[in-house]
Amino acid sequence: MREKHPAIDAEVDPATPIWRYFDLPKFVSFLGNGALWFSRADLLGDPLEGSVTRAREAERQRFLANPPEGRSREELKAIFLQNAAMYAQNVKCAYVNCWHMGDHESMAMWQGYGGGPYGVAIRSTFGGLSDLLPVSFGDVPMGTIFVARVRYIDYLSETEQISEQYNAFSPFVWKSIAYQHESEVRALFMDMSGYYQQNSPTGHFINVDIQKLTDRVTVSPLAPPWFDGILASICSKFGLQAEIRRSIVYSDPIY
């Protein structure tokens, strides 16, 4: 049973389809390693990853304008700077594996993450991912692995705040509303043993039963016709037995 957490939204029907989009080298890596790659959060490409809305800074400014009794403005400034540095460092301790949640494939996801003409997507379910991942990443501090539905918010807002915003995990299960089209599900954990390291690992492979995880393999709509056979050979080489089908995005029109 996967551990529950106040910051994690895991209230998703276990049968809900989820999709993982790969370019071909990453798909081969997935098959060859029999594992999912968890990237360090600061390398995901979103500069707001692991941060919170401007409401936190607005709150700090209100405290600075009217410090509580017994606290000077300078003391508060030092505390806020220390806290900000601590939360910023968490981005290099969080490791994330991302999926798209939806009943159907997404052209936006093909274009953003599908690797052009040689892209591949696998379909699984929310429950399958949750059931097949280990409950933790070894014995590292805060290494419990969670599977969460990402929620979206306006990061420019000075009034809206993410829930449980002072919990270390919470900033990693919220994203800017600009990414709402991704309808993301992510598996994540933190490795706080690397908190003081200058060069923490860029990511970790987490072993998983890829046969049970993979319900279907879909070929990019941008792929040339011959790529289907190549992909079938690659899956066979690594022992993955799954339905392989071409994307329906560019299916024949009916007038």
Convert 23-56 to b/e letters by CB count within 10 Å (16 or more is b). Answer: bbebbeebbeebbbbbbbbbebeeeebbbbbbbb
What gap in Å lies between CA 217 and CA 123, rounded to an integer? 7
Percent of the chain residues past pLDDT 70, beyond the cut: 98
What residue numbers bound the domain in which 109 lies?
A: 17-246
Total domains in the chain come to 1
Query: Is the per-residue pLDDT at 182 higher than 90?
Result: yes
Residue 192 lies in a domain: yes
Quote the DSSP letter at residue 67. P
Distance of CA 138 to the CA centre of its chain: 20
Q: Which amino acid is at 142?
A: M
Model confidence at 139, in pLDDT bands (50, 70, 90)? confident
Domain for residue 8, yes or no?
no
Residue 9 lies in a domain: no
Give the pLDDT of residue 252.
84
Residue 86 lies in a domain: yes
pLDDT classification of 72: cutoffs 50, 70, 90: confident
Residue 138 corresponds to which amino acid? G
Count of positions (residues) in the chain = 255
* Mean pLDDT, residues 59-74 taken together: 89
Region 73-90: what's the mean pLDDT? 90
Question: Is the per-residue pLDDT at 116 higher than 90?
Answer: no
Per-position DSSP letters for 213-235, written without gaps between them: H-SEEEE-TTS-TTHHHHHHHHH
Q: Is 94 within the bounds of a domain?
A: yes
- In this prediction, residue 39 carries a pLDDT of 97
Find, among 116, 124, 121, 123, the residue nearest to 21 by Cα.
121
Q: Output the pLDDT for position 202.
A: 94
This prediction's pTM: 0.93
Question: What's the average model confidence in pLDDT over 212-219?
Answer: 96
Q: Using the predicted structure, report yes or no on whether residue 199 has a pLDDT greater than 90.
A: no
| Contact between 186 and 96 (Cβ < 8 Å) | yes
Residue 4, domain member (yes or no): no
CA distance 190 to 97: 12
Q: With cut-offs at 50, 70 and 90, classify the pLDDT of residue 129.
A: very high
Confidence of residue 200 (pLDDT cuts 50, 70, 90): confident
Residue 122 has pLDDT above 90, yes or no: yes
> Which residue in 129, 97, 98, 107 sits closest to 218, CA to CA?
107
Return the pLDDT at 212: 97
- 10 found inside a domain: no
Asked whether residue 181 is domain-assigned, the answer is: yes
